[in-house]
Amino acid sequence: MTMLLTTATRPSRLLTKHLRNLRFSSSSSTSASTIASSFLNRFQSLGPQIRTQTLDPNQLRLLSLTLNRSSLFPSLPALSSTTTTPTADNAIDTEVSAGTPLPPGYHLVYFTPAFLETELGADGTDTSYNPSHPFTRRMWAGGEVSWPRDGSGRANPLRVGQRVTETTRVLSAEPKVVRKTGEEMIVVGVEKEFANEGGVAVVDRRNWVFRKALPPLTPSTTAEASSTLPPPSPPTPHPATSTTTSTGNTHTRTLTQTAVTLFRFSALTFNPHKIHYSLPWARDVEGHRDIVVHGPLNLISILDLWRDLRGADGRDGSLDLLYPESISYRATSPLYAGDEYRIVLEEKEGKGVVEILTADGRTAMKAGITSV
């Protein structure tokens, strides 16, 4: 999902509806409008950024375990060393075999940022696609992921062991103002294409919101922030919980993510954004009640529910069931470690309408899935 007005990059309906609450910004030479224009000109003059990587089997294994899924697909062996039966020579084989397809969304643990700690922003995020100061506070707002088909309608999955090319393009940078508060921000649209020997396998369009940097902390402001925030959630029983129920065409998966899960997901995606693991930063600096569940983690959880309902097991005969045509999604409010929340997926004529709801009924994310 992007912000350009061409046919290929038109915003999804979810983002279009959200942006009705925002308006364009224009003022002085240091305005969001000027900074966004300069940022876009700079990156479009640089052209696409290209990286290559071999898809490591252990990274895929560790993601499945982080998601508390003991096997990548129901038909494959267990991945945990404690549940795998040793062989005759006492060797335990938990490696994912070469050629195994990546479930939808699992590409997110590859092509991770590669920066020294000294090159990171104050909040821990990499600054590779940041606009100029003061618009440096990044949030993952949503996006759209698609899995292109060939002429016969067959999917082209990314597979373990493949040499894959990632091509990144900056598509847009638009200044916005929140109508209710007057806050300026910049919405950056980025597209990542992942291609193997069969061509483009995944197109991942992401929208990042960049807000103004926070003022430097002082002991007094830290104490004041801590005193006005509610206490963090009580520790979550280990492991994270997940249950699924269905009523007609409506399917509900109830989840609780632990701080351990969030830490492991941050490690796998090499994402040092402090709101996901540092309670002092999340509470005292960013004003959150607790550490925050990753937007991409929620995206993967939605796609896992979708593929589980179809019984897709990664075999060649079910590959087309494994991948939807596309998913568009938009985060609307944060979710926190220790909180119970529900993914509600309603199937309507080959499409899925998804909401992630908190225990008190607040909508944290909306998504739409299109099947082939």
SS3 content of the chain, % helix, strand, coil (to 5): 25, 30, 45
pLDDT in tens, 15-52: 444 434 444 444 444 789 999 999 999 999 999 999 99
Q: What is the pLDDT of residue 77?
A: 81
Helix and strand numbers (H, E) in the chain are: 8, 12
Q: What is the pLDDT of residue 102?
A: 97
Asked whether residue 174 is domain-assigned, the answer is yes
Amino acid at 229: L
Residue ranges in the chain whose pLDDT is less than 70: 1-29, 83-93, 216-241
Asked whether residue 21 is domain-assigned, the answer is no
Q: What is the pLDDT of residue 311?
A: 84
Cα of first residue to Cα of last residue in the chain, in angstroms, is 18
Asked whether residue 22 is domain-assigned, the answer is no
SS3 of residue 322 by DSSP: helix
Contact 183, 143 (CB under 8 A): no
Asked whether residue 100 is domain-assigned, the answer is yes
pLDDT in tens, 245-301: 989 999 999 999 999 999 999 999 999 999 999 999 999 999 999 999 999 999 999
**pTM (two decimals):** 0.85
Tally of domains in the chain:
1
How many Å apart are CA 229 and CA 206, to the nearest integer?
31
Amino acid at 174: E
Distance set, CA 127 to CA 58, 90, 115 (Å): 27, 46, 9
| Residue ranges with strand state E in the chain | 22-23, 49-54, 135-146, 163-178, 184-196, 199-212, 241-247, 250-256, 326-331, 340-348, 351-358, 363-370
Q: What is the pLDDT of residue 39?
A: 95
Asked whether residue 18 is domain-assigned, the answer is no
Q: Counting beta carbons within 10 angstroms of the beta carbon of residue 216, is it exposed (0 to 12), middle (13 to 18) or buried (19 or more)?
A: exposed
Q: What is the pLDDT of residue 201?
A: 98
Q: What is the pLDDT of residue 307?
A: 93
Q: What is the pLDDT of residue 232?
A: 58
Domain that holds residue 67: 32-370
**CATH number for 312:** 3.10.129.10
Asked whether residue 283 is domain-assigned, the answer is yes
How many Å apart are CA 184 and CA 34, to the nearest integer?
12
Asked whether residue 24 is domain-assigned, the answer is no
